[in-house]
Chain A
Amino acid sequence: MNPFEPARGRGHELVIALAGQPNCGKSTIFNTVGGFKVNTANFAGTSVSYAETTVCFHGRTFRLIDLPGTYSISSFDLAEKVTRDFLLSGQVDVIISVADASLLSRSLEFTLQLQEMGVPMVLALNMIDEAHRKGMQFDVERFRELTGVAALEVTAVQGKGIPELFAEAIRLAEADYRPILPQYDRDVEQCLAGILGRYPAALATPNLSPRFVAIRLLEMDEHFGRLAREADPAFADFVDDQRRQLAELHGWPEAGVLASHRHAVVLDLYEQIATHRRGSSEGLRERVDAFITSPLGGLATLAVSLLAMFYSAFWLGDVISGWLEGPFARLSGAILALGAGPFESILMGLAQGVEAGAGIILPYLIPLLVLLALYEDTGFLPRLAFLLDGLLHRVGLHGKSIVPLIIGYGCNVPAIMATRNLDNWRDRMIAMLAIPFITCSARTVVILALAGKYLGAGWTAFMYLLGLAGAMLLAFALSRTKAGSLLGVIMDMPPLRRPYPGIIVKKIWLRLREFLVVAWPVIAIASVVLSVLSFYGFDRYVNAALAPLTSGVMHLPASTGIALFLGVFRKELALAILGTALGGDIGAVLSHQQILVLVVFTTLYIPCLATLAALWKEGGWKTCLASAALNLLAALAVAGLFARLALI
């Protein structure tokens, strides 16, 4: 039974924040408590903005904030800045510091930084099952004695330990129980005391203790450094001097001197609470991992899984259309029998729209979502990044860009948001313009339903490569015009993990629901509108206006104009409407070459409305317009070329 209930109404609520390093399971805990609301995956950087939910637990209402993962309080990219700003804002009543227990020695560095803030805190030792398997045991009582922070063992994917975790967090927040502030060695403490002795009143911040600010200053934090200099230049000089002396004393670089001391504290703490025994054998997992991270093995895994998706899509398509064929044939027969009028055309449009959603789109969408969920949860994607980074680097794409690009295969909108993980504007710009060339799930559906059904597996694969080639070429061209430092990738390689069926099903449902409640009604409405418009002959105007492009450039029937126009709203719409627009079965009306041209165009042309909106929001209207223009021109050029070559 789930003790967490969604809360109604808002009053004075506790604010609980989930914070931790990337890929430690914050969003999984969030989803366990708040219902499946945010996507999760086994790679760093899945969450780039914070999610919030209000939950009722044992009669107590609280707001739960899921913050993007960050490696330290010093922020680098936009996603990490979200976390830092929120934590420093003073809104948080209790922090749940989430740590990957199997990597605790590293996670503790961040936990200690959080502890320095002096806000009530609980440590969630997540993925404890994995740590136990590796032979690690933790003395949580000892940890509490040493730090004043309660540590609880949790397996978030199974929901184990989550109610206890929240009960403890709420208890601590209500008691306002604050952690023991970490103590450093004598030199650092003397240095801190010196700084606090001269701490200017003008630097007082409402939510943060002077000690926390002094520590940030010793860490050369840019934000607090600026504040200190504004408040009192002599004080800022004094801090710089102190830091320099400390660095010289220990022979460490200035920027890392405090971090090195913290590391010593963490090591000491870790030694006292952790014991290692020999873990169970990881031989099989190791061998599978070695296979997947070899070029041939990785390629084989990719090819086999894509083929499996391809064939299950056709199998499912046959099954579903087998169910629908009879009833819908009788239904349209009944509508035709009513005669021909505006009302009948509404009914006919509705029936066709509903059938297109169920019969054309669902069979291709479901296998795709299953595959995507498996890729995400097993940790296949970072391994793909490992294999492809060398190539991507050559075309000028920052290795970290691969995460947004891969997300783009699901949907371009979160992919564009995910570019927030990139460190600089140049890399973000290149990634944002390249992403719309990536064949998202909506376009994959179009590709499978047209190229897959009529042209075969070869051409289907070709369409995928075409989109990828478009993205690569564009990135290559842009990286030549804009010089930048290509320091390259740094990312965690999480262990291969077993996907949990419960979570896979919820993930698929999260995305499928979006199709059912947003896309399908849109398709049905568009189908009705088109049916009514064509009853009055209005679709002719749209088709005539687009004829120079459809029949002129691409040698397609002018009646495809309206379908391609509607495809800008949602790419599946082009497919769903095509049958209605052409007035018959696609395979009978269009030649194979025309189908090829049509798929090429749909694969490349203007990103859908939601993607354009995301581009506008993240990159400004110039980026948005540039992207639309680039894609349209590329689509017309390639489709026009294919219309003039005898390829099939």
Chain B
Amino acid sequence: MSEKAHFQTSFEQLKKIASEFKSAENMSLDEIESKFKIAKEAYIVCKGRITEIKDLIAQSEES
């Protein structure tokens, strides 16, 4: 899978999990743990690009 595809898949996963966390009223400890683990893995995949872009934003704000 290409970096672009990874990023998109991870983005969709994070979006879905964030939505589930917002909408689900009750969630067991196991559910919270498993969803958080998936989200963390997805975030780590894209962390390099995100960090690079965050740095750019910070630089542009400074300038």
Asked if chains A and B come from one complex, the reply is: no
